[in-house]
Structure 1
Amino acid sequence: MRGLLLEHLDFTIGTITLDGHPQRMGNLIRTAMRAWLAERKARWPRTLNRHVLVSQQTAGTTHPVSNYFLKRQLTLHGVGLARIRSDRVLGEALATGADPLHLTVLFDLSPATAVKYAELARRLLHDPFGQQPDPGPQP
C-alpha cells in the first residue's frame, strides 16, 4: 500500500495495479480513492510525490509514507495490517477460482494455509450468503 503510485490507478477502465497485478476496482474502492485524491489535492496541491498515500512529512518529497504512519492511520480507524492481508488473500482466491497454488506463489503462503483460503473461497462462491438449503417442511 505504501508503494502504490498514482499511475497504478486507472479510473477510465476501473483498475488498480497491486504488486504488478491489475485488479478491478469495485465501487467502494473507486469512491474512496476519488475522495482521498480530492483531499490529497486540496491539502498538497503542489506536491510532486507520485505516491497515492502522502503525509505532511512526505508531501514535499518523493518518498512513500513510513510503515509507522500507515500502521498508525489504520489502527486509528480500527483496521489491522493482518486483516488487510487476509482480505487481500481471500479476494484473490475469489477472483481467481480458488487456486491454492496461485495463492502460495503470489502471497508466499504455506500450502496448508493456501488450501484453507481456497476452501473458504469455494464455500463463498458456492453459497455467498451462508445459507443452507431449505430442507422443506419438517414432520
Structure 2
Amino acid sequence: MPVTFRPFGQSGCRFPGGSCAPVRERLDAYLTHRTARWPATANPYLFTHPQSANGTDPVGPRFVYTRLGPHLNTRDLRTDRLLQEALAGGDAKRISEMFGMTIDTAQRYTSILGHPAFNDPALHTPRSP
C-alpha cells in the first residue's frame, strides 16, 4: 500500500494514555535515512531497499518477513493498529479513511468497544518489543 506522507501535525496519531513522540522520532529517523539513501526515488512505498528504490514496486514478502520474523506479519500489525485506533477514539469515519475501508467495515471494529474483554487495562498499554 503506498504511503501518503503528511506533516505530523496532521497525522492524527493518538495512543491511549501515551505519547506519539517515540513513534514520530523513529519514523522521522527512518524517513531521514530513506531520503539520504535514495534521494531521487519515485517509489511511493514506506519500505524501500536497493532494488525497489529504482522502481515503483513495493518490497516483497521476503523483505518484510526478514524484518518482522516468523511470528509477526503485516496483517497482524495492521489489525493491531486498527484495534488500537478504535480503542483510542472509536470514530468509524476516521478509521475508514485511515485504513482505506468502508465505514461499515470500520463500524465492525468500533462496535466491539463495549465488549467486556476490552475493559482490561492491559489492552490499553503499549506492548514492549
TM-score band, normalised by the shorter chain? Answer: 0.5 to 0.7
What displacement does 1:32 show?
Answer: 1.3
- CA contact under 8 A between 2:87 and 2:113: conserved in structure 1? no
1:85-121 residue CA offsets vs partner (Å, 9 max, x unmatched): 452243023123499xx99823977xxxx74895443
Q: Which has the higher contact order (CA 8 A, sep 6+)?
A: 2
1:1-139 maps to which residues of 2 (within 5 A)?
3-5=1-3, 8-15=4-11, 23-24=12-13, 26-75=20-69, 79-81=72-74, 83-97=76-90, 105-106=105-106, 115=112, 118-124=115-121
Rounded to whole Å, the distance in 1 between the matches of 2:88 and 2:10 is: 15
- For structure 1, list consecutive stretches of 5 or more residues without a partner in the other structure: 16-22, 130-139
Give the share of equivalent positions with the same residue, in percent: 24
Q: Which has the larger radius of gyration?
A: 1
1:9-66 residue CA offsets vs partner (Å, 9 max, x unmatched): 3225240xxxxxxx42622221111111111112112212122211111000011111
How does the TM-score come out when normalised to structure 1? Answer: 0.57
Rounded to whole Å, the distance in 1 between the matches of 2:121 and 2:104 is: 19
Identify, as 1 or 2, the structure richer in strand: 1
- CA contact under 8 A between 1:98 and 1:122: conserved in structure 2? no
- For structure 2, list consecutive stretches of 5 or more residues without a partner in the other structure: 15-19, 97-102
Aligned residues, how many?
110
RMSD: 3.7
- CA contact under 8 A between 1:94 and 1:122: conserved in structure 2? no
